[in-house]
């Protein structure tokens, strides 16, 4: 089928909206009509460095409506509203133990430009185009593996939910699923963009004692306070970089040994 997509042909060159051919979904694949997509810093990086073989259709924070399903798809149906997340094999020990983001094939499936069977679904004439993170959401339609399509309530406005598949998943998931802090612990988040704010909101849900947001922009720190930060530090106003540690100690009354410190470098 013919679709429109933002195609990155070469590094450090503008992305162009162009006509592209998209194949039908194969086994375990879903065709999604895109409604909205977030833009992650990783999309910008991919236009400057070798993140995925070019030419490619970038984008990996997609949200849309299932238009067609391939054989073997049972978790979603035509008409379902879905958000798209990272690609995983579904077969390795990490996938089977509930950690698909740490899939043994995560680099291949998300940055290799092809689908799990090694083929591509996007084409311009004789030229195959890579996808990104197993989706390529900078397009009117995208093919994803069924494991990357997460069904959500159709009453929700899809335009707000694309970032849940990457940025929010990264920030909140790091706190809730990896670090797993306890009540009484302290959390310092460096960088209060989408990822950092998601970490802060997750920490608030877990009732962490001190949630410290660190950034160089007062407006972002103000939002961090609204979303759950108990304290904020504008590091640009400190005399030297080492003063950040002292500021954190002051907020936690200097009782460093009684806290399990989690420093998230979330500068996206």
pLDDT in tens, the chain (268 residues): 999 999 999 999 999 999 999 999 999 999 999 999 998 888 988 998 889 999 999 999 999 999 999 999 999 999 999 999 999 999 999 999 988 988 999 999 999 999 999 999 999 999 999 999 999 999 999 999 999 999 999 999 999 988 888 888 889 988 998 888 887 888 999 999 889 999 999 999 998 889 999 999 999 999 999 999 999 999 988 877 668 888 998 898 764 333 334 444 444 4
pLDDT of residue 255: 45
pLDDT of residue 265: 44
Rg (CA), the chain: 20
pLDDT of residue 266: 44
pLDDT of residue 241: 62
Domains contained in the chain, CATH given: 2-165 (3.90.180.10), 169-265 (3.40.50.720)
Cα diameter, the chain:
65
> 144: closest CA among 7, 4, 31?
31
pLDDT of residue 168: 87
**Residue pair 136/57 in contact by the 8 Å Cβ criterion:** yes
Strands lying side by side in the sheet with 231-234: 231-234, 210-215, 186-190, 261-265
Dihedral sign, Cα of residue 80, residue 194, residue 181, residue 103: positive
How many other C-beta atoms lie within 10 A of the C-beta of residue 113?
A: 23
pLDDT of residue 256: 38
Give the helix/strand (H/E) hosting 7: strand 2-8
């Amino acid at each position: 089928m013919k679709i429109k997509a933002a195609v990155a042909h070469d590094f450090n060159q503008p992305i162009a909206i162009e006509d592209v051919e998209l194949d039908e979904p194969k086994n375990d694949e879903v065709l999604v009509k895109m409604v909205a997509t977030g833009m992650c810093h990783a999309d910008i990086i991919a236009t400057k460095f070798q993140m995925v073989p070019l030419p490619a259709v970038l984008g990996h924070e997609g949200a849309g409506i299932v238009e067609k399903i391939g054989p073997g798809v049972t978790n979603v149906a035509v008409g379902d509203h879905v958000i798209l997340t990272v690609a995983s094999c579904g077969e390795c020990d990490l996938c089977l133990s509930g950690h698909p983001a740490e899939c043994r094939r995560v680099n291949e499936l998300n940055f290799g430009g092809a689908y799990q069977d090694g083929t591509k679904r996007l084409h311009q004439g004789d030229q195959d185009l890579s996808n990104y993170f197993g989706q390529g959401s900078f397009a009117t339609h995208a093919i994803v593996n069924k494991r990357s399509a997460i069904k959500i309530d159709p009453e929700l406005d899809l335009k707000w939910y694309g970032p849940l598949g990457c940025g929010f998943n990264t920030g909140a998931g790091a706190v809730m699923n990896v670090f797993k802090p306890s009540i009484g612990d302290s959390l310092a988040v460096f960088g209060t963009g989408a990822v950092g704010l998601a970490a802060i909101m997750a920490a608030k849900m877990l009732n962490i004692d001190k949630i410290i947001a660190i950034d160089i922009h007062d407006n972002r720190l103000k939002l961090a306070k609204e979303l759950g930060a108990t304290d904020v530090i504008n590091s640009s106003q400190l005399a030297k970089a080492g003063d950040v540690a002292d500021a954190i100690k002051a907020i936690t009354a200097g009782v460093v040994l009684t806290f399990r410190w989690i420093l998230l470098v979330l500068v996206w």
